[in-house]
Every structure is written in structure tokens, then in C-alpha cells.
Amino acid sequence: MLTKVLLILLGLSIILPSRSEGPHVELENGPSAHDAVYEPQPQAAEETQTLGKLSAATHILNSILNNYDYKLRPGIGEKPTVVTVELSVNTLGPISIVDMEYTIDITFCQTWYDERLRYNGSVESFVLNGNLVSQLWIPDTFFRNSKRIQEHVITMPNQMVRIHKDGKVLYTIRMTIDAGCLLHMLKFPMDSHSCPLSFSSFSYPESEIIYKWEDFRLEINEKNSWKLFQFDFTGVTNITETISTPAGDFMVMTLFFNVSRRFGFIAFQNYVPSSVTTMLSWISFWIKKDSAPARTSLGITSVLTMTTLGTFSRKNFPRVSYITALDFYIAICFIFCFCALMEFAVLNFLTYNRTKPHGSPKLRHPNIRARTLMPLPVSAHQYPDAFVCQIEDSDESDGEEGPSCPAQQSLSTGGIQRPGGCCKWCQKYFCVVPKCEGSIWQQGRLFIHIYRLDNYSRVVFPVTFFFFNVLYWLVCLNL
């Protein structure tokens, strides 16, 4: 009886601690329990078969690799190794305009035959992962225009080798390449580029390694989120060329990824503000010429805005020395704004210069005005200031119906004293004064009446701008 009680106590003392440490114990026992669960139920035949296959595979692989010299290319001394290339583009872009480079994420597949890797057996092919790649000979392909290459190593190196029975080897690697791409920005923003990706063997010249496209299998899954943003992908072209270097002639394969710029972004950022600012500067022509502050500030504001827009358009832009199509447009808009401002300056200068020094009340006498309205029989020598009166006159008649230049005011051309020191050039070619003798003046000379300058501008500026736009867009969109 006592022994029974002792045994029970003993049993309890064993069970209780084990219960209290229950989870811990279970955890420790876990793997073994799992093993027990997941271990293949002893189906003897299958197990021996898999074991047989496994050992056979191990045997084949070891026999291949034991006598394998990965330092030598296949077919050395006999024939060049033909490497067939296949490429699939995972991501294209973004294209960095400032650095003139683009990013591309590719899976690069190369296939070649290596007789040393032939084997007999039931296994069709071996797949070796990234760690074993170094035990085989691999073509030393490199990307000629790459700036940075990132290999992907998570979770294992993203590369793979598959060895087929007949010695065919497929080597696949994924990488992200930052490659240089010379961008010709002359037609910016109507530009399109073809960004190359060229590769060749680093050490084996053409006589030792030949590259071939695998039926030009270039997988481009455009539906994927390519990060081209401003650009549209327009196609891909491949070329094969041989380049000579001091180390020999190398076979270079190049792919060109063609992209063209999406126009909308730049249009709204640059063209619309430029055109609107230019049109805004024309408002000046409808403002009275007396209100100098209004017209000057309008003109200066538009000129400054164009300057800002010009600077802004060059932001995030490579520092190319030539002017682009956009620069040209902005420059022309700038000139338009500048001319609008200058138009007022000229108008103001000429009127001011004429009126001020001779603005004595005597000259504004009505009878002189009356006289000028009549066909003047005598030469202007006697009335050197007659045109000043005329200006006053037209001023009073609201500038709209100033005296028409060629018709009525018949005075001889000579002898006009220029009070404001206007250059002889104006005197020669422009009839800025109302003394335009029909016969002499009209011969190959331009009649510009100062008081009509605003009227002229209201037509000339918009029409010129319109034709400039038509011409610009015709040229830009067709080139």
C-alpha cells in the first residue's frame, strides 16, 4: 500500500512539472513531432525511387562538374561559342533628362551549348540556382553604355542556370541598369529619342564569341507599369555591329528603345502661359497713350513674365548650348512683348519730343490748324513746325482720325527741321510727319503715321503672331 502511494506521488511529481512547462516541452518536441507527421509514410518503393533519382542526379552533377574547367569556354580552339540572347524588359524608365540616362530592368537570357555538360540519364535538365553559377563557364557579357548596374540578390541572387541533356545551357539573370542615352533636345518638346542598350563580350573577340538574337524574342509587357511618365514607348529596334578596339574586334549587339514625348505636360506648362502673356501685352494698344504708367507697367510685366517663363522652361533641363524649339517659341514671345513695350516707347518719344519744345501756345493757334487741313500750296520751309501743329491737331481729334498721311498734306520733303533729333534714317524712309508729297514719298517708302501706330499695332501684332504660330507648329509637327 505504501509503495502504491509512493508510486502515485512519484507519478504526480513527474506529471505536474511537465504540465507546468507544457508549452515549452511541446515546443522543444515540436520538430520531431512535425517530422513524424510530415515524414513520408514508409512507402518503400517510392522512397527508394526518389532516393535513386536523387543520388543519380547527384552523381550526374558531380560527374559533370568534377572534370569541368569553368575557366575555359566551350569549343575552345575549334569554333566560336554561339550565344543566343533573349531579353525581357520588366520596367523601362524613368528617363532622366538632366543626366541623360535611363533606367531599365531586364531579365537577360543567354543560351549556348557546352559539350562538356552533356550527360546520360533520366533527368531532363538541371536547374542550378545563383550559388552554383560560379562553377560553370558563363559568357562575360557586359553592357557597354551602362553607368550603374544593380544585381538583385533578394532572397537569393536572381540568376539561374539550366543544363539540358544535350549540353545546352540557359543562363538567366535579372538586373537593373542605368544606361546612358544621348538625348538630342533640339526639337524639345516635340522630341523623340532612341535609347540604346548595347552589350558585348568583355574579353572574347568576335572570333571566339558570337551573339545571336533568339528569333528576336524581346518580351515587352507594356501593360506593366512602365515608368516613362512624360514619354510614350514607340518601338524597339536591334542592330548588330562589330567594333574594333585595340583588344580585337568585338561583336556588339544594340537595342534601341524608341520613345517620344507626351506633349500635354509641356504645353500647359510653357506654351499656354507664353502665348497668353504675349496676348496680354497687346492690351496696351487699346489703352490711351496718355496713361503711360498703365502701358509701361503692362509692358514691363509681360516682358518680365516672359523672362521668368524662359528661365523656368530651362529648369530640370540639361545644359545644352543650342536652343530648343520651346526656347525659340519663348524667345519669339519675348520679342513680341518687348516690341509691344517698345511700340509705346516710340510712340511716347515721338509725340513727346515733338510737342514739348515747340509746345508754345502760338503754334497751337487755330489758324495754323486750319491751314494744315487745307492743301498747302507752299513749301514747308516757311512752316518748319507745321507738323507739330498737325500733331496737336490730331491729338485733339482723339487720335483716331488724324490727318491721312499721303493724301492731303502735300508739302515738300526737304527742309523739315527735326526738333527732337530724330535720326536721318527715319526721315529718309518713314513718313512720320504729315508732309508726304505724294509723288516723291510714295516711291518705295513706307508711310507710317505716328498717331496710327496703335491702330497699326492692333492689327499687325496679332496677325504676325498668328502667322508665326501657324508656321511654328507646321514646322515642328512635321519635322
Ligand X SMILES: *[C@@H]1O[C@H](CO)[C@@H](O)[C@H](O)[C@H]1NC(C)=O
Q: Is 181 buried (19+), middle (13-18) or exposed (0-12) by CB count in 10 A?
A: buried
Nearer to ligand X, 24 or 184 (CB): 184
Nearer to ligand X, 118 or 458 (CB): 118
Pairwise CA distance, residues 229 & 16, whole Å: 69
Nearest partner of 448 among 406, 399, 394, 387, judged by Cα = 406
The alpha-carbon radius of gyration of the chain (Å, integer) is 44
Nearer to ligand X, 207 or 234 (CB): 234
Shortest-Cβ-distance residue relative to ligand X: 235
Pairwise CA distance, residues 409 & 434, whole Å: 6
Nearer to ligand X, 6 or 239 (CB): 239
CB of residue 123 to ligand X, shortest distance in Å: 13
Nearer to ligand X, 218 or 426 (CB): 218
Nearest partner of 326 among 154, 457, 472, judged by Cα = 472
Nearer to ligand X, 179 or 347 (CB): 179
As given in the structure block, the three cell numbers for residue 314 are 530651362
CB of residue 346 to ligand X, shortest distance in Å: 48
Torsions phi, psi for 191 (to 5 deg): -90, 155
* Concatenated DSSP letters of 364-391: G-HHHHHHHHSPP-S-GGG-TTHHHHHH
Residues 6+ apart with CB under 8 A from 361: none
Nearer to ligand X, 167 or 406 (CB): 167
Pairwise CA distance, residues 217 & 198, whole Å: 16
CB of residue 234 to ligand X, shortest distance in Å: 5
CB of residue 258 to ligand X, shortest distance in Å: 4
- Locate the DSSP E strands across 295-381: none
Pairwise CA distance, residues 369 & 84, whole Å: 95
Nearest partner of 255 among 382, 401, 88, judged by Cα = 88
CB of residue 188 to ligand X, shortest distance in Å: 16
As given in the structure block, the three cell numbers for residue 138 are 558563363
CB of residue 118 to ligand X, shortest distance in Å: 5
Nearer to ligand X, 150 or 240 (CB): 240
CB of residue 119 to ligand X, shortest distance in Å: 5
Nearest partner of 272 among 311, 320, 326, 319, judged by Cα = 326
Contact yes or no for 189/173 (Cβ under 8 A): no
Nearer to ligand X, 107 or 238 (CB): 238
Question: 221-242 burial, b if ≥16 CB within 10 A, otherwise e?
Answer: eeeeebebebbebeebeeeeee
Determine how many CB atoms are found less than 10 A away from the CB of residue 134.
Answer: 8
Contact yes or no for 111/86 (Cβ under 8 A): yes
Q: Which helix (H) or strand (E) holds 395?
A: helix 386-396
CB of residue 108 to ligand X, shortest distance in Å: 16
As given in the structure block, the three cell numbers for residue 219 are 518580351
CB of residue 61 to ligand X, shortest distance in Å: 13
CB of residue 232 to ligand X, shortest distance in Å: 11
Contact yes or no for 394/451 (Cβ under 8 A): yes
CB of residue 320 to ligand X, shortest distance in Å: 19
Torsions phi, psi for 246 (to 5 deg): -55, -25
CB of residue 475 to ligand X, shortest distance in Å: 20
Give the residues lining the site for ligand X (CB under 6 A). Answer: 118-120, 194, 213, 215-216, 234-235, 237-240, 256, 258
Nearer to ligand X, 237 or 244 (CB): 237
Nearer to ligand X, 115 or 400 (CB): 115
* Concatenated DSSP letters of 176-189: EEEEE-----TTTT
Pairwise CA distance, residues 83 & 252, whole Å: 12
Nearer to ligand X, 252 or 363 (CB): 252
